[in-house]
Amino acid sequence: MTPDRIPLPRPRDGAVGRAVTAALACVTVLVVVVVLWVSAGGMAALGADGTGLVTAARLTGLVASDLLLLQVLAMARVPWVERAWGQDRLARIHRLLGFTSCWLMAAHVVLVVAGYAVSTGTGVLAQLADLVVRYPGMLLAVAGTALLVLVVALSVRAARRRVRYENWHLLHLYAYLGVGLALPHQLWNGAHFVTSPAATVYWWTLWGCAAAALLAFRVGRPLWLSRRHRLTVGEVRHEASDVYSVYLPGRRLDRLAARPGQFLTWRLRTGRGWSRAHPFSLSEAPRADRLRFTFRSAGDDGGRLAGATPGTAVLIEGPFGTLTEGRRRGERVLLMAAGIGITPMRALLEGMRYADRELTLIYRARSADELVLRDEIDAIAAERGAQVIYLPGPPPTGRASWLTAELAERYADHEALTHLVPELAGRDVFLCGPPPWMAAARAALRAAGVPARQVHDERFGW
């Protein structure tokens, strides 16, 4: 049955205006910090002597603190910020702010020690020891800095590849403790903080907003949502070799306002390890009485989730993500999925509004046995009039491609797209799959003439 045509939503749900507003707000707070520093005589005191080095250290410390708090706010799960940017972009912004703040913090330490050492004629190591021991709050600041450096070191790509996501996420939470330990140092020793009423008001406001956002949206809101909707494990279904679906009945789930293409962060109260969060996409269009996510089991947590018993309580955060129909600009749609990336695409296939033959799904997998949820996809396609193209098979060797090895021998990546999908350039394209596959698909779409504004994805590379 083909649904009645419904006017499409505005692209990105007004996200452009919110994104511009948020960007201007970030620039404004950085400008305020510099203005406060200048008004306190920072420019006049700059120089190569000890006083000038200490003054420069104060500026790097203030900007590092500002970026650190902006970094916290970026990942505080503030709903309107999430809708404007999308969590994938916020994660990249969070990462950039974190590395920049860390380098500025290192510069702050080097400059302040060097400045005091020049002023007092003391050796660098002796001066460092004197600052740590004698100045109030410095021991806490050293501990906080060590925690932040640890988190930054674990966030380097080479280190992240060696750590399971669940463990990395848990260790990453120590960054909040590091930020908290730095506050007394700024209160007791920050000259610009304690001598200027305007600076005092500014910093207290920024610290207060960061703390309030964390408590409200990282703690309070998930607890409230979980209590309101009372999700529990209803059934765990084995879908394929190592793929499982978890069915979660609950109450008043229509008020959760989840949309096809979005994901939630799940914590199943299954005993040890329940506190670790798992971001999984909805694998069917949300219902008023049930949600479902589908995942590939891997590692200890995968086995624990697959073994969850009916009645297990579930804590949730979300919904998150902007890979929804709100991004759509036209009538025709192409969904492209690879591997377990089929889960949000299957939800979009079911929940999107489209007429007969207006939607095409391309589903790429390494073998026919790995085409997860195929029976459901075929049933939805038959009912809604969608076209589904399955592409099982190993990838080509020697080059990155979104195709199977067999098709890659016959077509270039972009030629295969134009061959498989008519009127490709006029379609909105939604992508989900492993990062290398998505990069190859985006390159092929670009070569096939699809405008970048019509290609929609969420790129996570924790």
Q: How far is CA 351 from CA 89, 153, 164, 324, in A?
A: 25, 41, 33, 10
Report the pLDDT value the prediction gives residue 128, as an integer from 0 to 100: 78
Other Cβ atoms closer than 10 A to 345 = 27
Q: How far is CA 296 from CA 242, 245, 293, 360, 370, in A?
A: 6, 9, 10, 25, 11
Contacts of 377 (CB under 8 A, 6+ apart): 342, 346, 349, 361, 363, 388
Report the pLDDT value the prediction gives residue 156, as an integer from 0 to 100: 67
Give the neighbor-by-neighbor strand order of the sheet with 455-456: 387-392, 359-365, 333-338, 428-432, 455-456
Query: What is the value of pTM for the model shown?
Result: 0.79
Prior bond of 11 cis (ω within 30°): no
Listed residue (217, 222, 237) closest to 283, CA to CA? 237
In degrees, to the nearest 5, what angle opens at C-alpha 403 toward C-alphas 163 and 439?
50
- According to DSSP, the β-strands at 428-432 and 333-338 are parallel
d(CA 152, CA 174): 11
Amino acid at 251: R
Other Cβ atoms closer than 10 A to 141 = 24
Other Cβ atoms closer than 10 A to 120 = 12
Residue bearing tokens 């804590």 = 315
Which three-class secondary structure string do you get for 95-154?
HHHHHHHHHHHHHHHHHHHHHHHHHHCCCHHHHHHHHHHHCCCHHHHHHHHHHHHHHHHH
Report the pLDDT value the prediction gives residue 18, as an integer from 0 to 100: 58
Domain boundaries, the chain: 11-226, 230-320, 325-456
Q: Does domain 230-320 have CATH number 2.40.30.10?
A: yes
d(CA 17, CA 358): 30
What is the chain's pLDDT, residue by residue, as a tens digit (462 residues)? 333 333 444 444 455 555 666 666 777 777 888 887 777 666 655 665 667 787 888 888 888 888 888 888 888 888 877 877 777 778 788 888 888 888 888 888 888 888 878 877 888 788 778 777 777 667 777 777 777 777 777 666 665 666 666 666 666 666 777 777 776 676 666 655 656 777 788 888 888 888 899 899 988 999 999 999 999 999 999 998 889 999 999 999 999 989 999 999 888 887 776 777 788 999 999 999 999 999 988 755 777 888 889 999 999 998 998 899 988 888 999 999 999 999 999 999 999 999 998 999 999 999 999 999 999 999 999 999 999 999 999 999 888 899 999 999 999 999 999 999 988 999 999 999 999 999 999 999 999 999 999 999 987 654
What phi and psi values does residue 3 have, to the nearest 5 degrees? -70, 155
Listed residue (458, 250, 216, 202) closest to 337, CA to CA? 458
Report the pLDDT value the prediction gives residue 374, as an integer from 0 to 100: 95
Contacts of 160 (CB under 8 A, 6+ apart): 154, 168, 462
The CATH code of the domain at 11-226 is 1.20.120
Paired strand residues for 458 = none
The CATH code of the domain at 325-456 is 3.40.50.80
